[in-house]
Amino acid sequence: MSVFAAKLLLLTMLAGWIIWETVALSVEYVEIPIEGLPTEFDGFRIAQVSDLHGMRFDPMGREAQVIIEAEVDLIAATGDFVHRSSPEGVSKILPFIQTLVAIAPVYAVSGNHDHWTDWPYIARRLRSAGVTVLENSHVRLNSGDAEIILAGVSDPYTGHSCLNQALPAQADTVIMLLAHAPTWFEPWNAETAPAELHHVSLTLAGHTHGGQIRLPFLGAVTTASGRLFPPSHVDGLSREGNGWLYINRGLGQGGLAIRFLSRREVTIITLRKG
């Protein structure tokens, strides 16, 4: 085999690998111990999806099937439903969203691309599909005589967040927070982080795409927040102050429409008494 043929073969294999990494789906099963979690919520299961970016998903594809099979109690959608300045993207995602609504109650917050496009229009379409949109607000989830609080903060990356409004002034139960970007946790600093977050047991975020492109031994080249080779807060579970943060890698792509070593993700989270 000539040198040219060998290089061509390697390039072809690499291209095939990149294509596979872009379309492949990873399902992450995570159990999170929550201090003070009521017994009635021990085993409460949440599916998290994020960063759809106006892509068309098969309503009965694997993304939906894994959520059906997990028998979740709630679905959290953490922003970027469309891609920048493309409001028609909401029509592409609605069949998938409607499937999710038929599985379990869906709660959503906005992302930066949603605000860069037309968030009031997107929120209206989501609500018409049966989604509960949390805009700096919260709801109480009940199981028997017990309750926990689910809060949603509008996108912090574009300056639309208001934690004081999203979170209850006083709470004697567990608080979960949906937030598109993990802005406040990069990195966690107990002196500068908003005091309100000290009362949040679990934050679910997206935005980073898990770096979208990772290099062996070096990790993520960057994240959607613009940090080069970030040492942390790229994806997955981390302990942040008094609570937990989980960053989902998302289902769609932004910028370059490829992924490498950072597969698309559906997360199945089970809450456990801590």
Q: How confident is the model at residue 256 (pLDDT cuts 50, 70, 90)?
A: confident
Residue 65 CB coordination number (10 Å) = 14
Q: Is the predicted pLDDT of residue 21 greater than 80, yes or no?
A: no
Please tell me the total count of domains within the chain: 1
How many CA atoms does the CB half-sphere of 180 hold within 13 Å? 30
The whole-angstrom separation of Cα 233 and Cα 211 is: 10
Question: What's the rounded mean pLDDT across residues 195-203?
Answer: 88
Q: How confident is the model at residue 39 (pLDDT cuts 50, 70, 90)?
A: very high
Radius of gyration of the chain (CA): 19
Q: Is the predicted pLDDT of residue 130 greater than 70, yes or no?
A: yes
Cα torsion 200, 50, 39, 243: sign: negative
Q: Which domain holds residue 127?
A: 3-273
For position 202, what pLDDT does the model report?
Answer: 98
For position 15, what pLDDT does the model report?
Answer: 62
The whole-angstrom separation of Cα 163 and Cα 153 is: 6
Residue 82 one-letter amino acid: V
Cα 117 to Cα 86, 104, 114, 256, 268: the distances in Å are 6, 27, 5, 19, 29
Q: Percent of the chain scored above 90 by pLDDT? A: 66
The whole-angstrom separation of Cα 46 and Cα 5 is: 49
Cα torsion 93, 98, 104, 109: sign: positive
For position 23, what pLDDT does the model report?
Answer: 82
Residues 6+ apart with CB under 8 A from 204: 46, 48, 76, 78, 176, 177, 178, 179, 246, 248, 269
For position 198, what pLDDT does the model report?
Answer: 82
CATH code assigned at 16:
3.60.21
